[in-house]
Amino acid sequence: MEKIFKLKENGTNVKTEILAGLTTFMTMAYIIALNPNRLTGFDRGSQLWNGVFLATCIASAIAMFVMAFLANKPFALAPGMGLNSFFAVVVANIVSLTGLSYLQSFQAALCIILIEGIIFLILSLLNIREKIVDCIPLGVRMGIAPGIGLMLMNIGLGSNVGIYSADGGPFYVMRDFFGALTPSVIKGNMGDAYPEMVLTVVTMFVGLFAICILAKLGVKGAVLLGMLISCIIYWAGEAIFLGNNPFASLATASFVPPFADMAATTLFKFDFKTFFSIGWFTIITLIITFCMIDMFDTIGTFVGTASRAGMMDKNGKMPKMKEALVADAVGTIAGAVTGTSTVTTFVESASGVEAGGRTGLTALTTGILFLACIFIAPIAAIIPAAATSAALIYVGVLMLSGLKNVHFDDLTEIVPVALMLISMPISGSIGHGIGLGLIAYTVIKVFTGKAKDVSFVTYIISVLFLVKFFLVV
């Protein structure tokens, strides 16, 4: 292990790295079921759902193994949120354009992901993606980590936990619980979902406070221990107050991987004939859109998480960035081949980094757990979302510390950072936040007589984001 991952050089050990990998896994295990839900319209139990489920586990594991052994970084990868929703919209549009089945349209859309992955692999090998990272102004880069921090907090307090009642939903912690005027209003709005919401809120904050207290006391593995405390509280509350057996799903769950369904629906199922029939302009537009979102989501995650972990040099550069970007590209190709949308670096990697993960052994551990979920997915599914929310909120708070490096007296820095701070959590996209930040930086520099401070690449990226935001296609 020492030879492969250079643990002593990075100030870590096997135990810390494995615990960090487990922590990362627990904060992002939701994607294993959520991704096939998003890509198939919640068509649980269908051949396509089973195929996407396996693709999610396998492609994620492959990407993390490459990250571990090639880049030796603690970053975890999986099909990206936002990108999978966009992919589902593209599939639906192909259905309406061609009149073909959802499965055929899905297989056509996989061609986009394959091309995107190949493009990114070439750009990464040629160091072009790394040069794009270097061209992001340092002042803008300093705001990426805090922006991701607020995004993590927003996920934890918002979209990570959705509670459904007999009459509808979802209801969210911040919007519907803390956003209501009185408890009676909350209960009236939620109906029979109210007790579950109360349990969720209590679990989330007890877990958060437990993590904070343990971390303050210097307890190793504070994040993971806090999540375990959250799990115990939620399971006990579910049994005692809600009258439900939290482990009931395990009794009827299947632990046999549906490989036959994957082979029939998604594995190497590229429908290029249908893909080319949608028109070249649409094809090029879709590829560029996927590439831009994925590129800057990945760059933002690397920069933000690495800066928090102390992996950046004095110039704000991360060693082995090229190798990390190659792993990201390989993950996307693996996703296309197996049958899922763009695989990208997950912002939840920050939870593992905060737990002490510094090397590829963290990524390897998370990858092994993802691969194991082919057989033990029902066990991963019983981890309550409230437990993962506690970890996400805690890590988000810590990442806000990056604001101390921002020059608040320089409008060319503070305005882009402020826009990223608000846009990342609201839009749910790191890439879009960076895009707004770069546009603001460029415009202010140009019209204050400092156009020469803006690099040529920054001008190009800003223009591309303007086109992406405003060109209706």
Question: What average pLDDT does range 312-337 have in this prediction?
Answer: 89
pLDDT digits (tens, 9 = 90+) for 144-197: 888 888 988 988 888 778 898 887 888 999 889 998 888 898 899 899 999 999
Confidence of residue 462 (pLDDT cuts 50, 70, 90): very high
Tell me what percent of the residues of the chain surpass a pLDDT of 70: 99
pLDDT digits (tens, 9 = 90+) for 393-404: 988 888 888 888
Predicted local confidence at residue 472, as pLDDT: 62
pLDDT digits (tens, 9 = 90+) for 11-67: 999 999 999 999 999 888 888 887 888 898 768 778 999 999 999 999 999 999 999
Residue 221 has pLDDT above 90, yes or no: no
Reading the block at residue 183, the tokens are 């408890």
For the CA atoms of 56, 59, 64, 69, the dihedral, rounded to the nearest 10 degrees, stands at 160
Predicted local confidence at residue 413, as pLDDT: 87
Q: For all residues of the chain together, what is the average pLDDT?
A: 89
Question: What average pLDDT does range 450-469 have in this prediction?
Answer: 90
- Integer Cα distance of 267 and 14 in angstroms: 35
- Integer Cα distance of 385 and 173 in angstroms: 12
Reading the block at residue 26, the tokens are 């627990």
Residue 377 has pLDDT above 80, yes or no: no
pLDDT digits (tens, 9 = 90+) for 280-316: 888 888 888 788 888 888 888 888 888 777 787 766 6
- Integer Cα distance of 351 and 338 in angstroms: 27
Predicted local confidence at residue 84, as pLDDT: 86
Segments in 136-218 forming alpha helices (H): 138-141, 144-154, 183-190, 194-216
